[in-house]
Structures are given as C-alpha cells and as structure tokens.
Copies of this chain bind each other. A is one copy, B any other.
Amino acid sequence: MLTKEEIATWLKGLQSRICIALEEADGAGKFSTEEWERSEGGGGVTRILQNGNVIEKGGVNFSAVSGKLPENISNALKLPPSDFFATGVSIVIHPHNPHVPIIHMNVRYFETLPLVEGGDAGGRGGQYWFGGGIDLTPHYVNAADATFFHNALKTTCDKFDADYYPKFKKWADDYFFIPHRNETRGVGGIFFDRLTNTEKHSKDNRFEFLKAVGETFAPVYTELMKRNSAKPFSEKEKQWQLIRRGRYVEFNLVYDKGTKFGLDTNGRIESILMSLPALASWQYNHTPEAGSAEDATIKLLKKGIDWV
C-alpha cells in the first residue's frame, strides 16, 4: 500500500528537481533554503529565489504537516474530528519582465487518520485525497503561449483519463476567478481536488497522475521563460505588471483556499505568503485605453476560452 511517507518523499524530490531547473533557466538566481517545524506537528522546506536574472521573486515550498485537524477546517471539509496529514509542493513565480507570465503550481496529498488498508474514501475511519493544479497568469496574454501551456497540460492529463483535461480545465476557470473583479486570474490551466480511488482509478494511479502533473511544471515554465525573458518592455508595461500583481494579491488573500488552509493551520507565515510579489500597485479606477494591449488582455480574462 502506498504510504504517506512515500508520497512526501517523492514530493520533496520534486521540489529539488524544480529548483535546479529554475536556477538553470534563470542563469543567475539561487534558491535559499529554510527548514521549519510546525509546533503542532510536521514542518517543511521553503526555497526562495529573489532578484534573479529572469525571476524577481519565486518560491518553491515543500511541507508535510500533521496533527489534530483544526475545527474550522474539519467543518469546512465536512469531516469528523480527526488527526490529519497533509503534504504538498507549492510554487509561485513572479518574473521581472512583464512579458513573462506568473505561474503557480500546487500538488498535494491529504489524509485523515486512521487510514485503513485499501484507502477507501470514508466509511472505515479515514479518508484521503490528492489535489492540485497548475495555472498561468500572463500580464499580457499571448495566445501562442496560452495554447502551448494548455496543450502540455492536456497531454499530461490524456495519459490518464480523457475526461481529466476538460473537467480540470473548467475547474481551474471556476477556481482561479476573482468575483469582485469579474475576471479570471489569468488564462487558467487545470485544477483538481479530492481525487481518491474509484473503480477506474487506483490510489497508485492517482499518484502517478499527480507525479505527471508535477513533472510537467519545469519544462513548460522554463520554455515560457526562454521565449519571453529577452523581450524589451516599457515603463508603462512595467506599471501594468504591478497592477496585475495587485489582482494576484487580491485573489490569494481573499479567495485562495491554500492560503486560508495555511493561515488556519498556523502554518509558517513567510512560507504561505511567499506567493505575494516583491512589488504591487493599486491605482484608483485604472482603465486600459480601448484597443490597447492591456485592454486586449482584460478581454481574455474570461472563463470558457478553449486554448487547445
């Protein structure tokens, strides 16, 4: 039976491989490493790259936390009082150049204890599930890049289940949405949660899918860095980037469930909020000129666009 320790060990390895790939693509920046412990159980390794060549601020976090599930979370997840174990890798990269998109990935495993042999969801005492996703937030939407990105995700998904990509793509559109702005956060990607074993998919098979998603990140994002990081940009484009980052802050602090889970479980605050950019801006009533590149981007921050 696949154990939580095996999953955590694999995820920790993923963190290392991704940091190596990002450092190589950046060409200058190096990730710092902080190991931390959580007083209630478990801990993590936070790796941050600041002021690189391409990356302005990026974090690649691993954590494996455990203990008593806080009551607000067990209520929100509709679970009985339980012990829990949660492990995952979370990434957010904010580049210098406004033509390089922001990217986010999370792959995670969650279980309540005791978990019984065979890993059935509910019933005999414990539950488990995998969750995660990757989504892209360009400051300027580039259709070729968005199509490349979604094609890569679809290729990964299709290896496991032809229903995954359409279902998880829609889920990302719905999840990475800022209701008060009536905008999606970016061009979406995939999002999935509560993947457990079914007749069609064993626990091992779900884990293989999670691993495939995790391994999709580095080749896809380093390609997007390569394509865009040498493009020239103006002061106006930099200003627009700061405004788009403001929206990113709004989503993460108001809506993101990962951030909320981290705050509610007394996670390490500097690791949780590594997702926030080095600099962000809010201008009152900022409205892009009709027909501008900024206006074109806003028009593409909608649900339901088929990039593939």
Q: Which residues on A are within 8 Å of B, measured CB to CB?
A: 32, 34, 48, 50, 57, 59, 179-181, 242, 246, 249-250, 253-254, 263, 269-270, 272-274, 276-285
Contact = CB atoms under 8 A, between A and B. Distances in A.
Given A249-B253, A273-B282, 14 more contacts: A48-B284, A57-B284, A179-B263, A180-B263, A181-B269, A249-B249, A249-B280, A250-B273, A254-B263, A270-B284, A270-B285, A277-B282, A278-B283, A280-B281
B283 A280 contact: no
Contact of A284 (B254, B274, B285): B274
A279 B50 contact: no
B181 A276 contact: no
Contacts of A278: 281-283
Contacts of A270: 284-285
Nearest to A280: B280
Contacts of A276: 246, 282
A253 B273 CA distance: 13
B277 A279 contact: no
B249 A284 contact: no
A278 B272 CA distance: 24
A23 B285 CA distance: 20
A32 B284 CA distance: 10
A263 B285 CA distance: 16
A278 B282 CA distance: 5
B249 A285 contact: no
26 contacts: A32-B284, A34-B285, A50-B284, A57-B284, A180-B263, A180-B269, A181-B269, A242-B279, A249-B249, A249-B253, A249-B280, A250-B253, A250-B273, A253-B253, A253-B254, A254-B263, A270-B284, A270-B285, A273-B282, A274-B284, A276-B282, A277-B282, A278-B282, A278-B283, A279-B281, A280-B280
Nearest to A264: B180
A284 B59 contact: yes
A34 B287 CA distance: 15
A283 to B, nearest CB: 7
A267 to B, nearest CB: 9
Nearest to A252: B253
A57 B254 CA distance: 22
Chain B CB count within 10 A is highest, among A253, A254, A270, A284, for A284
Chain B CB count within 10 A is highest, among A59, A253, A280, for A280
A190 to B, nearest CB: 26
Q: Which 6 A-B pairs have the closest CB atoms?
A: A253-B253, A276-B282, A48-B284, A270-B285, A180-B269, A180-B263
Nearest to A94: B282
Contacts of A250: 253, 273
A249 B242 CA distance: 15
